[in-house]
Structure 1
């Protein structure tokens, strides 16, 4: 069954990609969507029968991949609780996106290519989450990077789409470089890239470190890894490896510093935004850290850094989301912020809380992205919320579905976000690393900002007076059922996912549920402690949510002139946020412009003047000079040739006479 789940998207990609033009767009849509629906159903069957039962970890080897010295890599599927959660998330969202795209992309002439790319992306993501070794994981990791490049730049005739695709590809390569170095370090340290071997080695190290008084055994002080000119002991080597792996996670999951590709990726079709940026590609980094929890648990320094980056990302993205006017960019920065929440949970050791928020977030964020697509579809592809307004009565189904997604995102009681998002905040409160309190404070503040910009989106888009042109308002229409049905399914998940699965994911029996999927050290009591936080701390996120809603209502319903007044009063801060903390400008100054200048110098001077000038171009130019001069001797006059012959005869006679004299 699990082999079928992984290979069905690959089959859909091959059929639509190779034979799409022959079988037609409709057949490509139905085949790829049908395969993904079957994969999603099988994933839920596996999750319920295995994930919620007493199943042990399964290892299914498909074939031997490569053998070289001590490196032995097979294409093998690792099926455990963590894998099954990811299978459910990836295949459910992907199947709904496929169905939704049948309606959304109805007028696009290249639908077979689009659906082939969607299936390729899904297959690569499944390769990643089912991997039993780091090589296979990296193969899937790079596969989703390639597929995201193709999907973001799907409308390749748009320069902005091409630029966004290139940006996503290049920024992710920065993070992937760290991931590759981390994999190399793991191989040096453990002699294998198989997860079972790595985890067994980590358990041995943990046993050594758990001696009397918590002191490491003498062997742990020996140098075990050379990195950047330094000889590292076991503890330092583990920290460096974890930080390198996290560098890869930062790129894929758009954490601050490597986040700049995510908002620009909105240039792709809206279903792509939902698939890549809601539940799949951007959560790969969260999955990586959770999967490698046995290593991260051995490095307190690495977990502290993860907490710091996650909390900073959460507040950074939330502040930028306050002033965005593109409906998709608001949701994109919300994704970035929520990923920061997940990394805060990972950093304080609450791995199951992070995966729980990943699980619930997939439903309500995909709902918001696809709901935004329904709005864009209704208003003739307009994305600027300043040109919307008053849409509630025209597209009521879309309105109420987006309200459900907003309630879940902001953590309204008993929705999915209420259970998972509040658990992240509570885990940060009881965490014991140096940045746990920092993480708690910023996630609480981010909860207020999240509520404000989420309701700002709803009020600007659906309430107030219509701001669109008369022609656009005349053509506004509700989306077809093929687009609305996936939204209803996601809305059900946004309302019920937290209520149904909170007990299994983070309840009292979470250890039995996760078994060997996630590892927490004997001193890690975060999951136990977060259930005993004071009532005021547990209630605080709800207060922040209410305050954010009230401010948004005041600004955009009660007194619509207030936003303009606040902007005029704080013009500098507004520009700072509108320009996204000037990260793009800073990177342009530090990296892009110098790289272009260096490239131009090497092109014009190094290649043009030096290499070509002294090489092939120079030689050919000298040959031309000589031949041009020789050509001038060919005048065509007989007496010129006779004169040249006489000079030649005279020279020959002279040489003979003088030579003979000697």
Structure 2
């Protein structure tokens, strides 16, 4: 067992590439690809160890070192391989390898070595996150992917806009990370007081979860407080409301980076954390409901905002926000295995969509505005077919992988939370609308896009897309619906680590849920075909007929402006300063007044209050310590009388 090699291969390569040990463009790319492929091979070699005893629940721990905090207090660090980490490692390494290969054909620049160094660091940090047994060690990987995203989003650092996007992603993630850090400190304090040992091992936390049922603040138990703090960290990393705003701007980075970030790393880290710490989220009804409602709100928000976007990558970014909402929703209802299954299928079809979008952008000379595209199916016939496969999988059409995972989420909602199920179903309709609008505006229509006539998709870009398309036809069969009467591979595998409901469900209900979902997806498809087959005229008509509605969705419900003006105090670079934002301004006025009151009476008031206390006490003690003997005698007499009175009262109470 050499779990450490899974992480160390891309990590060492990242360091060597950054030191320009392999400065040749061709060798730098090939070595970076080989290091990630090597990690994938090491993961595969551990398959036989995981199933060696014939028990899919085998868990292997590889101890790395012990941190000696005090002479008798140590904290062990190690790597843990089980069903969850195994599946995540396969996703990160294999999809990561394909994106590395794609980058060989996509990236044409001098700083090739720096790009692949950051890309390898990204993969290494995500692998550290999913393999770590200790929360503290996991936090290093958690922060590592945040750093890597900052470096890659701002890779084209000559652009002021790109650097702003990188800083925005970094800062928003740090805000979310504060919640995770506070949760870790609280857990560390609780278990140190109970056992005298510093340990944030997931296994230790799970076996002693009963300690967290102690009262916390008011009606909240400690487990509820820890759950809310952990979920705040999840909201930052996995772009959930209200900390979603960094992800659309993160599209400023190279397209392969967007594919890796959305498909196989970073944004899925929050879903992994919730699944790994499921015993905390399950221990509080309030936290479970909070996770569920934030998930469904995020799913609807992302799918509605994507409908009127013009940037091809931003549409896919809002699509990711929406799909992450579905995964969060699944965790909120306790279907952690289903959430991870959707992480797996989403990783494949979203990688395919981003890589296909990258091919379109290359063909269109770097243009990302879908209004300026059209009729590209003749120029890029293979990309056109593969984009169709990714889109159909996204909306959940049988037999592609997205159908199996999405319908499992809907089925669990249908049986337990029917009201939320209806909202999630509405999200399916909006998803179908925006993705087929994108597809028709890019590949169909009367407009002829301005393309590079000599452009042909390189084999290094085509190969990963073909492999991902094949995977879309295979992955779904790992967790099949009951009506197909086939063995369920993934549920039994996850059941050894997670609370997974095994056995076949009601066939009739599954068929009904699948049929209704397909009808909603088909409705969105036909609407998109009717309005966008021949160009974006429908967008212009809606913008003219319903301007407020159009601006509300295209401007993300004005939340981005609200955040910028309330917290950053500057105009957003992408906004028109002459545009009428009466709604935003009125909201901002209320926020500004409220913020002023908080600043004056709470922030400044708190500071002045803390300053006043020592001044007041100092003035009191100054009167006592005045150097006059008669004053000292007076205070001594007063103190003696008070002590005597207390003693008499205590004696009389004891006598009773």
Asked if 2 retains the 8 angstrom alpha-carbon contact of 1:270 and 1:369, the reply is yes
**Structure 1 pair 26/68, CA: closer, same or farther in 2 (3 Å)?**
farther
**Structure 1 pair 512/405, CA: closer, same or farther in 2 (3 Å)?**
closer
Partner Cα distance (2:204, 2:495) in 1? 17
Corresponding residue for 2:29?
29
Corresponding residue for 2:82?
80
Kindly provide the CA deviation profile for residues 165-194 of structure 1, in whole angstroms up to 9, marking residues without a partner as x: 000000001100001011112122333311
Partner Cα distance (1:293, 1:532) in 2? 30
Moved more, 43-52 or 479-488: 43-52
Kindly provide the CA deviation profile for residues 565-600 of structure 1, in whole angstroms up to 9, marking residues without a partner as x: 2332211110001101111111123211299999xx
**Structure 1 pair 464/340, CA: closer, same or farther in 2 (3 Å)?**
same
Partner Cα distance (2:138, 2:307) in 1? 36
**TM-score (norm. length: structure 1):** 0.80
Corresponding residue for 1:606?
none
**Structure 1 pair 312/78, CA: closer, same or farther in 2 (3 Å)?**
same
Corresponding residue for 2:102?
100
Corresponding residue for 1:646?
none
Partner Cα distance (2:368, 2:506) in 1? 40
- For this pair of structures, how many residues does the alignment match? 563
How far 1:51 moved relative to its partner? 6.2
Which consecutive unaligned segments of at least 5 residues does structure 2 have? 193-198, 573-591, 596-656
Corresponding residue for 1:496?
474
Kindly provide the CA deviation profile for residues 489-528 of structure 1, in whole angstroms up to 9, marking residues without a partner as x: 1111222111245489x976766412442246xxxx6987
Corresponding residue for 1:169?
170
Spell out the pairing of 1:417-496 with structure 2 (5 A cutoff).
Answer: 417-431=402-416, 436-468=417-449, 472-473=450-451, 475=453, 477-496=455-474
Are 2:568 and 1:566 aligned? no
CA-based RMSD of the aligned residues comes to: 2.6
Corresponding residue for 1:242?
227
Aligned with 1:195 (options 183, 202, 206) = 202
Partner Cα distance (1:476, 1:355) in 2? 42
How far 1:380 moved relative to its partner? 0.7
Aligned with 1:588 (options 534, 556, 564) = 564
Aligned residue for 2:337, secondary structure, equals helix
Corresponding residue for 1:288?
273
Pick the structure with greater CA Rg: 1
Aligned residue for 1:149, secondary structure, equals helix
Kindly provide the CA deviation profile for residues 137-158 of structure 1, in whole angstroms up to 9, marking residues without a partner as x: 1110000000000000000001
Partner Cα distance (1:16, 1:123) in 2? 14
Partner Cα distance (2:17, 2:134) in 1? 30
Asked if 2 retains the 8 angstrom alpha-carbon contact of 1:390 and 1:464, the reply is yes
Asked if 2 retains the 8 angstrom alpha-carbon contact of 1:47 and 1:85, the reply is no
Partner Cα distance (1:236, 1:568) in 2? 52
Asked if 2 retains the 8 angstrom alpha-carbon contact of 1:328 and 1:369, the reply is yes
How far 1:478 moved relative to its partner? 2.6
Spell out the pairing of 1:113-192 with structure 2 (5 A cutoff).
Answer: 113-191=114-192, 192=199
**Structure 1 pair 559/152, CA: closer, same or farther in 2 (3 Å)?**
closer
Partner Cα distance (2:94, 2:170) in 1? 26
Are 2:548 and 1:546 aligned? no
Aligned residue for 2:62, secondary structure, equals strand
Kindly provide the CA deviation profile for residues 196-218 of structure 1, in whole angstroms up to 9, marking residues without a partner as x: 1101102x469xxxxxxxxxxxx
Corresponding residue for 1:50?
50
**Structure 1 pair 198/29, CA: closer, same or farther in 2 (3 Å)?**
same
**Structure 1 pair 566/324, CA: closer, same or farther in 2 (3 Å)?**
same
Corresponding residue for 1:381?
366
Are 2:40 and 1:40 aligned? yes
Aligned with 2:497 (options 514, 517, 538) = 517
Moved more, 6-15 or 586-595: 586-595
Which consecutive unaligned segments of at least 5 residues does structure 1 have? 207-219, 599-662
Moved more, 490-499 or 572-581: 490-499
